[in-house]
Amino acid sequence: MNTSLPEKARVLKRLREGGFNVPDFIFVPASDFVSENFSELEAFLKNHRESFKVIARSAHPQEEFFKGGTFDSLETYADLAGIQYARNRMIAFAKTTKKLSIQRQQKFHKAPDINAEDMGVIVMPFIFGSSVMAKMLWDHWEFGYCRDRLHKIQSEPYITRTPHDRKLLEISQEIQDYLQFQCEIEFIISEDGQIYVVQAKDISIIEILEKKKDMRSIVLDGVRRIRKRRNYRERPLYVMDNKNFYLSIINKYEDMTLDHACRIDDISSIIDMINRYEEELEEFALRHQRFCILGLSIHDPEELFQIANHYLDEIPDLQQKLSQALHNNLYKIDTFLSEADTLIAKDKFRVNLCGHDAYGIGTVRNPIWTVYWATHKHESVVKELRRIGFKTGDSVGIDVDNNSRPTVIRL
């Protein structure tokens, strides 16, 4: 079992030694969880009972070779059971929800093979406040703001060169000068205005670059993007039409009903349809490093989902099997959606951006775009998209004009 100190804990230790305002923390390696050696952890938690809650941050020994946000951080209770629960969740996420992301980074970025059970944990007291991420790009600092816990009305993540407090700029420069490498720094700004540094990641090896329409195109209503420096991109396309997917399941069931004068006792062919769809999503994501999803129908067909889900109510054992497969399929679809850097769909859908997704170093060259059409135009836009003939495997171009109106082009 790997017991080396991971980058996240190693850098925090250096920053604390350098006199920066790092919250009290403890690193607990995987070996301590295996041997149940919790004496130091329990002493740490005893000193932080007053907050009732701590933040458990992932600290895998090989985490530095993966993009930020690949592994999870969780708020949890300030007791031993809470930390064990958080670590188990991190390991489970690495094996399920984040599995596709890990596989894609291993294929496209040569990230190493990992054992999720080597997961260590950094434990910090929970600080109620807002998250800010800072990094120097070319000759200037930029600051990304999101997850503001201080206000009831939440705003979209945004990037600025002018932080709310000039001290943030000064501290960022001091940290980078002290560490002597280009870094991405995560701060928490507490309710009383204190600036805590909770992470600094080495990004010195990540390359950052400086900065056709035809009849087969359609103008949509808008685009959401944190970075607005580029106005055109091309991507391989996956066309998602879950309405047709659910209809195919329903049609398959009805065909089986016609072929059986008595009770249906085998739904393996329907389960195979669901499995093939999930395999198709995973194969596409592992074939293309960056890709676009055109959502003709994503989670729209709620009635169809319920119909497919309850077709076998009179046969409880088969109904439960089908219901489980369909619910698992929803998670597989969401995992696939989270790997795309471009989503084209009606305005109801948007990517839920965390800090790393919104303005992490990986977004400088390839920020996430959500291109949308107005909800009331849905039927007419989908009709036009079908006329143009967009299909999985096509290349799609997106050209954003000066008024932020995107034109989507089938290349």
pLDDT at 212: 39
Res. 30 pLDDT band, cuts 50 70 90 = very high
Return the pLDDT at 147: 59
For residue 85, give the 3-state DSSP assignment: helix
pLDDT tens digits, residue range 279-317?
999 999 999 999 999 999 987 656 777 777 676 667 777
Least confident range from 5-19, 169-183, 330-344, 350-364: namely 350-364
The pLDDT of residue 300: 60
The pLDDT confidence band at residue 263, using thresholds 50, 70 and 90, is: low
Lowest mean pLDDT among 1-5, 89-93, 222-226, 260-264: 260-264
Confidence of residue 349 (pLDDT cuts 50, 70, 90): low
Is residue 300 within 8 A of residue 352, CB to CB? The reply is no
Name which of 119-123, 137-141, 154-158, 373-377 the model is least confident about.
154-158
- d(CA 65, CA 106) in angstroms, rounded, equals 9
Q: Are the C-beta atoms of residues 298 and 242 closer than 8 Å to each other? A: yes
The mean predicted confidence, pLDDT, of the chain is: 85
Average pLDDT over residues 39-60: 91
Domain ranges of the chain: 7-202, 217-410
The CB-based long-range contact list for 189-192 (8 Å cut-off, 24+ gap) reads 189/129, 189/130, 189/131, 189/132, 189/164, 189/165, 190/127, 190/128, 190/129, 191/128, 191/129, 191/150
Q: Is the pLDDT of residue 100 over 80?
A: yes
> In this predicted model, what pLDDT tens digit does every residue of 245-258 receive, in sequence order?
988 888 887 777 66
Please, what's the b/e burial string for 14-51 (b: 16 or more CB within 10 A of its CB; e: otherwise)?
ebeeeebebbebbbbbbebbeeeebeebeebbeebeee
Q: Cα–Cα distance between 140 and 163 in angstroms, integer?
A: 12
Question: Where is pLDDT greater, at 117 or 217?
Answer: 117
Asked whether the beta carbons of 195 and 335 are under 8 A apart, the reply is no
Question: Rounded to a whole number, what is the largest CA-CA distance in the chain?
Answer: 78
Which residue in the block uniquely carries the two structure tokens 């350098």?
Answer: 18
> What topology does CATH give the domain 7-202?
D-amino Acid Aminotransferase; Chain A, domain 1 (3.30.470)
For residues 84 and 47, what is the distance between their CA atoms, to the nearest angstrom? 18
- Judge whether residue 395 has pLDDT over 90: yes
pLDDT at position 214 over 50: no
Helices (H), 2-79: 7-17, 30-35, 39-46
pLDDT band at 69 (very low <50, low <70, confident <90, very high): confident
Nearest Cα to 369, choosing from 344, 396, 336, 401?
344
Q: Which residue has the higher pLDDT, 332 or 52?
A: 332
**pLDDT tens digits, 141-166:** 999 887 555 554 455 678 888 888 88
Residue 377, CA atoms < 13 Å, CB-side half-sphere? 14
